[in-house]
A and B are shown apart, each in its own frame.
Chain A
Amino acid sequence: MDEEIWELRLYVAGQTVKSVTALANLKRYCEEHLKGRYQLEVIDLLQHPQLAEGDQILAIPTLVRKVPSPIRKIIGDLSNQERVLVGLDIRPIDPK
């Protein structure tokens, strides 16, 4: 399981405050907890509106965890670290 590469997608719509905040937050968590075993894709719906339908995106920003399954979605600017980790089901590394 640890070997699995996490696929994350962040949907944003332009460079709004929320989107920028969300991206910054997400990168921070990933570096902290999933270093080296994640792929992050940022999709700007203003440029690719047709992609919104596939992942059932309504809210912006939305973070989608494609792998590992099941698909999880987290909406908002990801400012609450605890909820993001619970939402993505990331256990803190090296439980002591």
Chain B
Amino acid sequence: MSTLSHSLAALAKAPTGIEGLDEVTEGGLPRGRPTLICGTAGCGKTLMGIEFLVRGIQEFDEPGVLMAFEETAEELASNVTSLGFDLKQLQADKKLRVDHVHVDRSEIEETGEYDLEGLFIRLGYAIDSIGAKRVVLDTIESLFSGFTNQAILRSEIRRLFRWLKDKGVTTVITAERGEGQLTRQGLEEYVSDCVILLDNRVVNQITTRRLRIVKYRGSTHGTNEYPYLITEDGLSVLPVTSLKLTHEVSNEIVSTGVPGLDEMFTRGGLYRGSSALITGTAGTAKTTLAAAFALESCRRGEQCLFFAFEESPQQLIRNMLSVGMDLRPYVEQGLLHIEASRPTLNGLEQHLVTIHKLIGQYKPQTVIIDPISNLVSVGSLVEVRGMLTRLIDYLKVKGITALFTALVSGRNANQEMTEEGVSSLVDVWLHVRDLEGIGERNRGLSILKARGMAHSNQVREFLVTSEGVRLLDVVLGPTGIITGASRHTQFLQEQALATAAQQEIERRERELERKRRVLEATIANLRTEFESVEEELRQTNQEEEQRREDLSQGRRQIAKGNPAPLAGNSPAAPTHS
């Protein structure tokens, strides 16, 4: 069994070179087989066909034949010049053949039996003359308007696809979308290998184009509807599921531009390459915080891309200047790029492509989108979420630090859930809100989550001053954190208390001083008293000494034979010694 499956080669695929399509088809269109591209008018069928050929020539060296039933070679060439495809040059290089097939019923009369061998010969000749590997039949259904005999036509078309398969060319057939079926003439019956459906849908006056692979025989493929765009570089399909969560992460920390806010994160800022979301109700300084972040990024000398969906660059610069943030020098230096556009200008996918393109152009380290909630005006919530998922993934893969702001409506502000539901996609989520107290509103900022680092759990009041955003110190009152006027009252009260305490201390010190002085006076008194007693004692002692001296002297004289004076002699006796 296993040897059998090994010997069977997987279905060979011809890469289209169209951005994103090869990812969705997991390698390209089935090689050597026909693929049907169907869609309504104006969804880019012909363009996809031409791009398939041109990319095949330029990137895979596979010459191609374009059989055009609707437009002439000149028309086609000029149509795709704006995309940078030079069909004329490719034709001159014998890499491309464009054969315009003109079918006009008014010129043609049918009588009797016929077949379409002429078409086969033309196509065969075109293929053989340049060794083509790829063929595009641009709207073969035009034949149905040129020939009345449907039975012949259908059998001939069936034969054509068989013949193309036998020739081994990878074929793309475009067809107009029909009512209730994929194509107007039921071509999907004949092309059974791969069918791609293009859709052009207008919702709320905004067009989005979507691509879906209806079937792909013998291969797995993405089954979703993928938005695609026609850009200046051709078609671009935006697969979301092909992006895997395998991006590199950085351990480096970048500052948010608000010193107090940095301190709320234990690591002192955000991880580089992470994505942060600031949500808040109207007027809670989301844009100001975003601008501070941008400014900080520029101060580090990094490129910053600022998408403003609400304000023009001039308005943004002026407004930020009023809060002490001068963005102009960085704009002039080319570090800061402000891209302002109305969300309704483009469909979501177009926005995404614009963002991709600008990121490719400026290679920024920081991207700011202010605000993402505005995009809801363009698409449905699911679509916006899908787009943001893709965008955030893209930014992460590129290692770009991203900051988004989102407006949450006042009514469900306490719900703390952004409408787009992107909160699960971002790494850091800051919430700014009005702290409405008695007769005033103050701004409070808190961190709802910060992946990979501990953070403060406090709601910090912050001020937008003429020197930028300043976080105030936390003041805890009896009922929790105190803000605004209460904060001021609290401050005054504390000041009064402190003054009183100071006075008390001073009073006590004076008391002490007084006591000391009393003590010292008492000590001096005692000392004086002591000294006089001492004096007296000394006097007495001295007299005693004298008397004893006199006495002993008298005794000695008696001992020498002289009659000693009487012991009861007057005390004045020693004086005449």
A interface residues (Cβ-Cβ under 8 A, vs B) = 11, 13, 16, 18, 21-22, 45-46, 49-50, 52-53, 56-62, 70-80, 83-84, 86-87
A73 CB, nearest partner CB in chain B, Å: 5
B274 CB, nearest partner CB in chain A, Å: 60
Given contacts A71-B107, A74-B111, 17 further A-B pairs with CB under 8 A are A18-B114, A58-B116, A58-B143, A59-B108, A59-B116, A60-B118, A60-B121, A73-B107, A73-B108, A75-B109, A75-B147, A77-B111, A77-B114, A79-B111, A79-B112, A84-B109, A87-B109
B interface residues (Cβ-Cβ under 8 A, vs A) = 99, 101-103, 107-119, 121-122, 124-125, 143, 146-147
A26 CB, nearest partner CB in chain B, Å: 11
Please measure, in the bound complex, the distance between the C-alpha atom of A73 and the C-alpha atom of B118, giving whole angstroms. 14
Contact A76 B113 (CB under 8 A): yes
A56 touching B101 in the complex, CB below 8 Å, given contacts A49-B124, A76-B110, A87-B109: yes
Please measure, in the bound complex, the distance between the C-alpha atom of A84 and the C-alpha atom of B110, giving whole angstroms. 8
A13 touching B122 in the complex, CB below 8 Å, given contacts A56-B102, A71-B107, A78-B112: no
Chain B residue nearest to A70 (CB atoms) is B107
Contact B122 A49 (CB under 8 A): yes
Residues of B within 8 A of A45 (CB): 117-118, 121
Contact A59 B114 (CB under 8 A): yes
Please measure, in the bound complex, the distance between the C-alpha atom of A13 and the C-alpha atom of B465, giving whole angstroms. 87
Residues of A within 8 A of B117 (CB): 13, 16, 45, 59-60
Residues of B within 8 A of A75 (CB): 108-111, 114, 147
- Taking each of A52, A72, A87, which has the highest tally of chain B beta carbons within 10 Å of its own beta carbon? A52
Contact A58 B110 (CB under 8 A): no
Partner of A83, one of B111, B116, B119: B111
What are 30 pairs between A and B in contact, CB < 8 Å?
Answer: A11-B118, A13-B117, A18-B113, A21-B112, A49-B124, A50-B125, A56-B102, A56-B103, A58-B101, A58-B103, A58-B116, A58-B119, A59-B114, A59-B147, A60-B115, A60-B117, A60-B118, A61-B114, A62-B114, A70-B107, A72-B109, A75-B109, A75-B147, A76-B112, A76-B113, A77-B114, A78-B111, A78-B112, A86-B109, A87-B111
A11 CB, nearest partner CB in chain B, Å: 6
Chain B residue nearest to A14 (CB atoms) is B117
A60 touching B116 in the complex, CB below 8 Å, given contacts A45-B121, A53-B122: yes
Residues of A within 8 A of B143 (CB): 58
Residues of A within 8 A of B146 (CB): 58
Residues of A within 8 A of B107 (CB): 70-73
Contact A77 B118 (CB under 8 A): no
Residues of B within 8 A of A71 (CB): 107
Please measure, in the bound complex, the distance between the C-alpha atom of A86 and the C-alpha atom of B111, giving whole angstroms. 11
Residues of B within 8 A of A21 (CB): 112-113
Contact A77 B108 (CB under 8 A): no
A61 CB, nearest partner CB in chain B, Å: 7
Residues of B within 8 A of A80 (CB): 111-112
Task: Give the 4 A-B residue pairs with the shortest CB-CB distance, closest first.
Answer: A87-B109, A49-B125, A76-B112, A79-B112
Residues of A within 8 A of B125 (CB): 49-50, 52
